[in-house]
């Protein structure tokens, strides 16, 4: 398997090294599998310039982009830009035109593409994600959703693949991304690498998301989030919330969905799960009491939500 890793100026350092570490580890461990040995990995670090500087200032020598023309996958590690308001300008800048063109040419050759976190913005800006499903860092999803209307973004996923393009979530999901690439050739080898590197199998980002951080991208959603928190232990009505905020229920539904990618009811559930998790970790309150504090008459619905959103039971959340 020939994997080309396209490293750009300002790349997220651990994104680059995480991908390379996983791929090289896979190549080193492939002979330890029982049965047929997977073919070797040919791993190339390529760039639009022969020497690039990462976000933390480390220099990396790269091969010419021509080395990626016959690659089995082109991986684009994230850029180290944490400010959402500047990220779109960066990926759309003249400085990254050659990178966008390289992505487009790879797509025209039907070369599988892979990226994570802010790298998803670069692929979306190039147009190759139009009409596709993708994920990105959960806290960047509102900005992504606002700019790239033609991409079906699901920030709850850790890794998603759509028509030969694999995307992953926040920065350290580069490990999940690289393991997914290994898994396309040998699921058993990917599992072996996961064990050697002690990387958990994480299917979703939902457990890491902070609802208030998502809500702050829109004044109405932020006001709705505050309204819910002030009434967390009460039965809540979306219609009542809309009246209190001075908008129609339809406007509230549409604005919340556009901003955070879920319905108002689901956002309420997420806020309740967040508060319940905090109480379970920091108090000795029985689960029934925690459930009442977050708006449930009995613990059953809360148990189900904790399993659904966090993948864990109440007992495992106790300190």
- Three-state SS at 288: helix
In angstroms, the CA 225 to CA 207 distance is: 18
Confidence band (pLDDT; 50, 70, 90) for 234? very high
Choose among 307, 233, 304, 310: nearest CA to 272. 233
In angstroms, the CA 201 to CA 193 distance is: 11
In angstroms, the CA 139 to CA 81 distance is: 13
Most confidently modeled range among 39-43, 213-217, 303-307? 39-43
Confidence band (pLDDT; 50, 70, 90) for 309? confident
Q: Residue 207: pLDDT above 80?
A: no
Confidence band (pLDDT; 50, 70, 90) for 318? confident
User: What tens digit of pLDDT does each residue of 290-305 get?
Assistant: 999 999 999 999 999 9
Helices within 186-285 (DSSP H only): 187-197, 211-215, 219-230, 238-245, 249-260, 264-282
User: What tens digit of pLDDT does each residue of 74-84 get?
Assistant: 999 999 998 88
User: What tens digit of pLDDT does each residue of 53-66 get?
Assistant: 999 999 999 999 99
Choose among 243, 240, 242: nearest CA to 221. 242
**Confidence at residue 319, expressed as pLDDT on a 0 to 100 scale:** 62
Q: Work out the average pLDDT over 32-42.
A: 90
């Amino acid at each position: 398997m020939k994997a080309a890793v396209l490293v750009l100026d300002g790349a997220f350092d651990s994104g680059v090294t995480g991908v390379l570490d996983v791929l090289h580890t896979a190549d080193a461990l492939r002979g330890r599998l029982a049965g047929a040995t997977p073919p070797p990995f040919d791993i190339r670090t390529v760039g639009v310039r022969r020497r690039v500087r990462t976000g933390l200032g480390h220099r990396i020598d790269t091969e010419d982009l021509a080395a990626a023309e016959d690659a089995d996958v082109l991986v684009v590690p994230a850029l180290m830009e944490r400010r959402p308001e500047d990220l779109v300008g960066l990926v759309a800048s003249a400085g990254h035109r050659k990178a966008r063109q390289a992505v487009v040419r790879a797509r025209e050759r039907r070369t599988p593409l892979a990226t994570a976190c802010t790298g998803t913005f670069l692929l979306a800006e190039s147009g190759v994600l139009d009409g596709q499903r993708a994920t990105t860092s959960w806290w960047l999803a509102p900005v992504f959703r606002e700019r790239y209307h033609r991409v079906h973004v699901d920030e709850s996923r850790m890794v998603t693949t759509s028509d030969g393009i694999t995307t992953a979530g926040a920065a350290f999901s580069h490990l999940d991304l690289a393991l997914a690439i290994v898994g396309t050739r040998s699921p058993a080898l990917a599992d072996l690498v996961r064990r050697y590197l002690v990387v958990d199998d994480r299917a979703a980002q939902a457990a890491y998301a902070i609802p208030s951080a998502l809500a702050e991208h829109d004044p109405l959603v932020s006001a709705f989030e505050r309204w819910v928190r002030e009434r967390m232990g009460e039965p809540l009505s979306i219609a009542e919330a809309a009246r209190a905020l001075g908008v129609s229920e339809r406007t509230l539904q549409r604005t919340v969905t556009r901003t955070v990618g879920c319905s108002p009811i689901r956002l309420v559930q997420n806020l309740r799960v967040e508060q319940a998790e905090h109480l379970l970790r920091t108090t000795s309150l029985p689960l029934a009491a925690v459930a009442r504090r977050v708006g449930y008459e009995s613990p059953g619905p809360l148990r189900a939500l904790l399993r659904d959103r966090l993948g864990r039971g109440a007992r495992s959340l106790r300190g």
